[in-house]
Amino acid sequence: MDDANSNKEKLVVEVVAAHNLMPKDGEGSSSPFVEVEFENQRLRTQVKYKDLNPVWNQKLVFHVKDVADLPYRTIQINVFNEKRSSNSRNFLGKVMVSGASIAKEGEEVAQLYTLDKRSLFSHIRGEISLKFYLSTKETVKEMTDTPLSVPSSSKKNKKLQQQGPPMVVHQQQQAVTQNNHNKTHHHPTQQHAKPGETNDIKPVVITAGHGPAIPVPGGGGVPVGMGGFRNVFSGGSSEFSLKETSPHLGGGVLHRDKTSSTYDLVEQMQYLYVRILKCRDVSAASGSEIMAEVKLGNYRGITKRVSANAPEWDQVFAFSKDCIQSSMAEIAVKEKDKDEFLGRVWFDLSEVPSRVPPDSQLAPQWHRMEDKKGDKSKAGEIMVSVWFGTQADEAFAEAWHSKAANVHFDGLSSIKSKVYLSPKLWYFRVSIIEAQDIVPGEKGAGMVRFPELSVKAQVGNQVFRTRTAQASQSRSLSNPYWNEDLMFVVAEPFEDYLLVSVEDRVGPGRDEVVGRVLLPVSQIEQRTDDKPVGSRWFNIDNHFGNAGEPQIVSRFGSRIHLRVSLEGGYHVLDETTMYSSDVRPTAKQLWKPHIGVLEMGILGATGLIPIKLKEGKGGGSTDSYCVAKYGHKWVRTRTVVDSLSPKWNEQYTWEVFDPCTVITIGVFDNSRVDKTTTNAGGGSRDSRIGKVRIRLSTLESDRVYTHSYPLLMLHTTGVKKMGELHLAVRFSCANMGNMLTIYSLPLLPKMHYVHPLAVNQLDNLRYQAMNVVAGRMSRAEPPLGREVVEYMLDHDSHMWSMRRSKANFFRLMSVLSSFVAMGRFIESIRNWNKPVYSTIVTVIFLMLVSFPELIIPLVLLYMAFVGIWRYRSRPRHPPHMDTRLSHAETVYSDELDEEFDSFPTSRSAEVVRMRYDRLRSVAGRIQTVVGDMASQGERVQALLSWRDPRATFLFVSFCLFAAVGFYFVPTKAVVALLGLYVLRPPKFRSKLPSKALSFFRRLPTKADSFL
């Protein structure tokens, strides 16, 4: 009997890990364990104390009464938090799995399940990874079955039910640990298995926090079953830290095939592609509209409606292989608004071929359809092609995806991946020099008042105005003179016009146009260097085509003197200089060859916060997509509909011209997927989820960085983690010599230094450039919203924030801390706290004074040695958003409310008064510090100003005697004596300040003249 049971198949439920669980212990964490119920059998895993991202890798084995009935059975998985104090537990989520999804041993694959609520008011979040398979090798440990029908109302029964299973779990855990230990020793190369044979969950799906690491040979202590992760930065909260991952990229590292050469930074995703081109000989009514329908299990895709006279669709449908629940694919042709099909054809998925680029596309073929009676002679033919492929397939970008089945037709275009090119921006310089024979406004009063003439220049929605022309004895009233430069931002192709208007202020707030000139920007001269551009006189139109204007006005030949040019030698800044992704000049003839290539695989995200609330349901959803911006190239991934753990697995490439640049990656929620939101007037805005910046100069060449970046957002309630973004980044350099040469070149083009622009002017031009880019991006299809462009370009980085001010202050203090530490070290040497060190420093000082030629070589040698020594502890991972550095964790709520306040403010008068008083107190301290610094400088000036004649007399006399003394006494002796005097022991020093310092403090300052 025992032998029969041992050979019988058992159900094995392998609990791999969970992620982003809800903290329920009152201390911001949980102690989770998993309880699995199957056919009146209940087993549980061990408890992972204080871990919101637990890793179990534990097998639970169950008896199966009848394998044939297994597809009709259900496995219930519950996750609980153990309360050690009260012997009770909190509910963390549940999963119901059908027995039909159980695989055979050797074919099991880890699946990720979202934890469901037990009731409407349950607070649940997170995912759990499980494996289900049948096995004859595993044995069920002896246990007393706990029938689920037995009431457990008494505390005694509850305690027995909670204490019994853990004993069995402990025995099973030992057996599983021993089994894994044996597997590790007998199969040392199993971590390099082929893509189709791996059973470990990939970290792009889930990344755990602090789990036990089971060492694998050559794995570097990466946990088994998790695909590999490691906390990189432990400073601050571990929730906001960067995690290193080891996803299975491009078919693996050691077993890479030719198909993974293009998409080697993403995980391969298998899809079933169905291309429907056209049909013929369909028995449809004349003039009616027909459509094709693709059915695969519960998924259904419908083509557009076309005329039955010439039915052509040429549409592609993509079904994710992970979601395929059927072995047959059905393609049917139907009439509009009718459920009955005109003809259909079936495809067995086991016979569908696989296509791998760079193979040519699969040629479509005519297939004869069958009608409702199964007759193939009258239903017509349809031309289709069906194949298995990956996201590298050319049809992937334009295909209809099965996971977008609930997206309305108007929103389909907004979920596809696209590449955008930002317009080529130019600085447009307009120099307003002078004008002649201007007729002032209000012609009857022209002789009794001085005309207040100014010039207004407008390009598109950019408007600038010169100052009012001043009166001059050498110029008449009708010949004003300005000589001002105005700068605009224009984009190719040049479609705008320059409108120059001469206006006369005839009253308060009332300007009268007395003449104008209209110039097309496309005809303006372009220059790439600092050579002067010739100026021109332009005739002014001063009657504006008004037939009723007196003809005498046209006799005045009014004209204006302008110098206009398109500046191609500048780089138009549309983002802050700190985060600039491109520093090339506008003119293409000034570009240098690229020095490298940046490749990025956008793998996916995990633990996203629900953005949209579902009506009538307790949970929410997120339709997320990713935007990456580097240089002129913007990329947008496809939108993964209704998923808190989306997987994009899309790879993009950029040419790199300067390594000291930054790539920005942002994650957003697509608001155009929801039909009700889209029809509300088109005013929907995509919500921000988070942003990541990576500086290319911090990356090593030809190394693949795979990390999970925290997506952090600052709200009025504080910093909040919105999820984690998984990226694979590689920066390749073709010529290291060219790369190193870049570091000696100026950061910006030559014109920024020959004819520099003012800081305020640059900020204004950056704002104008952002408006131009946002306007062009909104005209694309699908449009890239203005809110996305503004967030990616940091449009609000110049706004005042108390939090940022504190962060910048402490950054400055961190920089100065090394000098403060050096000063403390010197002071400790002077105080002889450690006589041995003080003696050594004194000897070294005397040696350097005797041989001064060794000072500079020793300093340089010391810096080189420190750099070589710190190479061992160099940063091995790219930086990420640091909440501690940003002072986001310790900021006060009122300071956050002030940071998110609009400009001008919308808060009450009392709040504004309180903030103004606080700002006055801070500014008062800064004012005191600045005043003290100015006083020290004024004391230095007072040494020779004779403001204090006695002090200046003493200083001049000292300089004369010192000059004579330094002439006769060697400099080395003076420096040595001065150094020994400073380093003398405290026993020979007085606690009073020195005479030189006392003399300096007595010098006068200009503070005496302050009101």
Q: What pLDDT is attached to residue 441?
A: 65
As a whole number of angstroms, the distance between CA 541 and CA 523 comes to 19
> What pLDDT, on the 0 to 100 scale, is given for residue 280?
87
CA nearest to 667, candidates 694, 686, 641, 683: 686
Structure tokens, 536: 């021109």
pLDDT of 489 reads 95
The full length of the chain comes to 1011
pLDDT of residue 659: 92
- Burial (Cβ within 10 Å: 0-12, 13-18, ≥19) of residue 174: exposed
Distance from C-alpha of 39 to C-alpha of 145, rounded to nearest angstrom: 10
C-alpha dihedral over 662, 667, 672, 678, to 10 degrees? Answer: -90
Residue 395, pLDDT score: 85
pLDDT at 228: 43
pLDDT given for residue 65 in this prediction = 85
CA–CA distance, 274 with 385 (Å, rounded to integer): 6
HSE of 535, CA atoms in CB hemisphere, 13 A:
14
According to DSSP, residue 258 is labeled: G
Q: Which residues of the chain have pLDDT under 70?
A: 1-7, 85-86, 119-121, 140-238, 250-262, 405-406, 408-411, 441-449, 543-556, 614-619, 674-683
What are the helix (H) ranges across 757-885?
759-777, 786-792, 802-830, 835-850, 855-870
Q: Could you give the angle at which helices 971-982 and 835-850 cross, rounded to 10 degrees?
A: 170
Q: Distance between CA atoms of 337 and 693, rounded to whole angstroms?
A: 50
Beta bridge partners of 706: 728
Tokens for 377?
């002679």
User: Is the CB of residue 951 less than 8 Å from the CB of residue 1003?
Assistant: yes
Could you give the count of Cα atoms lying within 13 Å of 1008 in the half-sphere of its Cβ?
6
Q: Distance between terminal CA atoms of the chain? A: 106
Closest by CA to 800, choosing from 918, 689, 908, 881, is: 918
Distance between CA atoms of 809 and 885, rounded to whole angstroms?
11
Q: Which of 966, 404, 453 is nearest to 639 (CA)?
A: 404
State how far the Cα of 227 lies from the Cα of 253, in Å rounded to an integer.
Answer: 13
Element (H, E) at 666: strand 662-669
Per-residue tokens: 590: 């000034």
DSSP string, 991-1006: SSPPHHHHHHHTS--G
Instruction: Tell me the Cα Rg of the chain.
Output: 38
**Tokens standing for residue 821:** 């530490």
* 496 three-class SS: coil
Q: Tens digits of per-residue pLDDT, 640-673?
A: 888 889 999 999 999 999 999 999 999 999 988 8
Concatenate the DSSP letters of all residues of 612-634 into one string.
EEPTTSS-EE--EEEEEEETTEE
pLDDT at 802: 84
Nearest of 8, 7, 260, 30 to residue 126 by alpha carbon: 30
Q: Which long-range contacts (CB under 8 A, 24 or more apart) does 281-288 make?
A: 281/380, 281/381, 282/308, 282/311, 282/333, 282/342, 282/343, 282/379, 282/380, 283/342, 283/378, 283/379, 283/380, 284/308, 284/335, 284/342, 285/335, 288/335, 288/336
Residue linked to tokens 């403001």: 947
pLDDT at 969: 87
Question: Encoding tokens for residue 163?
Answer: 């204490």
CB 498 within 8 A of CB 518: yes
Report the pLDDT value the prediction gives residue 896, as an integer from 0 to 100: 83
Contacts of 456 (CB under 8 A, 6+ apart): 463, 464, 465, 466, 500, 501, 503
Helix H or strand E segment including 369? none
Please state, in angstroms and as integers, the Cα–Cα distance from residue 219 to each residue in 222, 229, 812, 874, following that order. 6, 11, 41, 21
Q: How confident is the model at residue 429, as a pLDDT?
A: 95
Burial class (CB in 10 A: 0-12, 13-18, 19+), 507: exposed
Peptide bond into 358 cis (omega under 30): yes
- The closest of 604, 572, 480, 617 to 206, measured between CA atoms, is 604
Q: How many CB atoms lie within 10 A of CB 193?
A: 16
